A and B are shown apart, each in its own frame.
Chain A
Amino acid sequence: STVVVVFEAPLSKAREDGTVSSDFGFCVKAGDRIRVGEAIGR
């Protein structure tokens, strides 16, 4: 069985002080084992 997650996430976000927050990034890579509750990306 397989699960596919498709989601929208920020590419960049302007803060109030004019700086830009970092993009969404994955915490895992292809081939990794992962368990329920562990972060896929932030």
Chain B
Amino acid sequence: GAAAAQGKFLLPGASAAVLLMLGVLHAKRMYDDKQLVERKEQGIEPEFSPDLKASFLRLLPLRSMSRVWGYLMEVEVPVFMRPAIYKAWARAFHSNLQEPALPLEEYPSLQAFFIRSLKEGSRPIDPDPNCLVSPVDGKVLRLGQLRGPGTMIEQVKGFSYPVSSLLGASSSLHDATEKDISGEQTEQNVPESSNAKSWWRVSVASPKLRDRTLLSPKRGIFYCVLYLHPGDYHRVHSPVDWNIFKRRHFSGNLFPTNERAVRTIRNLYIENERVVLEGQWKEGFVAIAAVGATNVGSIKLLIEPELRTNSPGSMTLHSQPYDERVYEPEGTGMMVKKGQEVAGFHMG
């Protein structure tokens, strides 16, 4: 006040301008978010709209930033500070502090707290044998049935991506779809093998072909997209009793995956690093794709602890081949029970 009274400014002009600009940008973002909420309340679905921030994100070394974030989160916190820090995290991201399996003092770092296990019985599994259960805690973003050739999942209104690019095995999928559309495929050409690849090809790519091979019962392919908030329990469980035939690791980018990113970044899920588990349950094909993000870039598999994700220098474009492992014995794979923990997301 004294400095201002003497006509001297406390901040240099450039700093004041930067602060002002950040303030304006923040106010605009808050205004946009408020408008989005109002439009949602009116039943108007948000549409895909790429913005400057999404373009800017492509220039950033997001994978390196993610790993630095991970190193920071693994720094051991002094015991006396742990409850305060974890409670602050829980307040910021709405975590339930009644659920962790251990007292807060026993989590040595924020990373350890983030991937916390829960007390026994915190997540009862729906016993209905004819239901699929949620593999994660989160928010349902999208769900529906995949229909016809192309089999696209809608990222947001106005932009969709092919499920074959998300899960892999795109060439066989494309071939089968093309043959089915052109009518070239005959019953003599129908593959008789029941291995996972041909099964996926028949089931997802070509509904007509599928119906000829599996006359009864009729089946459909469904999907459900679930978003995990930073405060959510971050372990992945099995949605059904199933056999996991193979795992694919796509080493891609690490864009954020929040709702704003979903609206603004094209091909978000098929560009980001992800691990896909593919197999079969009693009703047919099933696959889980765990998609990483900037802050949560690593995916650990309990059934394959040696798998390393978000490694330095391992980024490939989504058009390049992925790393695949077929679980032994081939055609049977690993049997996993409904509700069994299979994977987890780690920070960095």
In the bound complex, what is the Cα–Cα distance between A35 and B126 (angstroms)? 11
- Which B residues are in CB contact (< 8 Å) with A11? 217-220
In the bound complex, what is the Cα–Cα distance between A11 and B147 (angstroms)? 12
Q: Tell yes or no: A18 within 8 A of B by CB.
A: no
Q: Tell yes or no: B339 within 8 A of A by CB.
A: yes
- The number of chain B residues with a CB under 8 A from chain A is 63
Q: Is the CB of A8 within 8 A of B138?
A: no
Q: Is the CB of A39 within 8 A of B131?
A: yes
Q: Is the CB of B217 within 8 A of A40?
A: no
Q: Which of B126, B140, B141, B234 gathers most chain A CB within 10 Å? A: B140
Q: Is the CB of B234 within 8 A of A40?
A: no
In the bound complex, what is the Cα–Cα distance between A12 and B244 (angstroms)? 25
Q: Is the CB of A37 within 8 A of B124?
A: yes
| Known contacts A3-B136, A5-B132, A36 near B233 by CB under 8 Å | yes
In the bound complex, what is the Cα–Cα distance between A36 and B235 (angstroms)? 9
| Known contacts A30-B142, A40-B224, A5 near B131 by CB under 8 Å | no
- Which A residues are in CB contact (< 8 Å) with B134? 34-40
| Known contacts A9-B219, A36-B339, A41-B131, A2 near B293 by CB under 8 Å | yes
Q: How far is the CB of A28 from chain B (nearest CB, A)?
A: 5
| Known contacts A1-B290, A26-B143, A8 near B284 by CB under 8 Å | yes
In the bound complex, what is the Cα–Cα distance between A37 and B227 (angstroms)? 16
| 8 Å CB contact of A3 from B125, B216, B290 | B290
- The number of chain A residues with a CB under 8 A from chain B is 33
Q: Which of A2, A13, A23, A33 gathers most chain B CB within 10 Å? A: A2
| Known contacts A8-B219, A37-B134, A42-B131, A1 near B143 by CB under 8 Å | no
Please name 19 further chain A to chain B contacts, defined as beta carbons within 8 Å, in addition to the given A2-B290, A6-B286, A27-B131, sorted by A numbering.
A1-B257, A2-B138, A2-B141, A4-B153, A4-B226, A4-B289, A5-B224, A6-B204, A9-B284, A10-B219, A13-B217, A24-B220, A28-B140, A28-B224, A37-B124, A38-B126, A38-B134, A39-B128, A40-B132
B residues apposed to A, CB below 8 Å = 123-126, 128, 130-143, 146, 153, 163, 166-167, 203-204, 216-228, 233-237, 239-240, 257, 269, 281, 283-293, 296, 339, 345
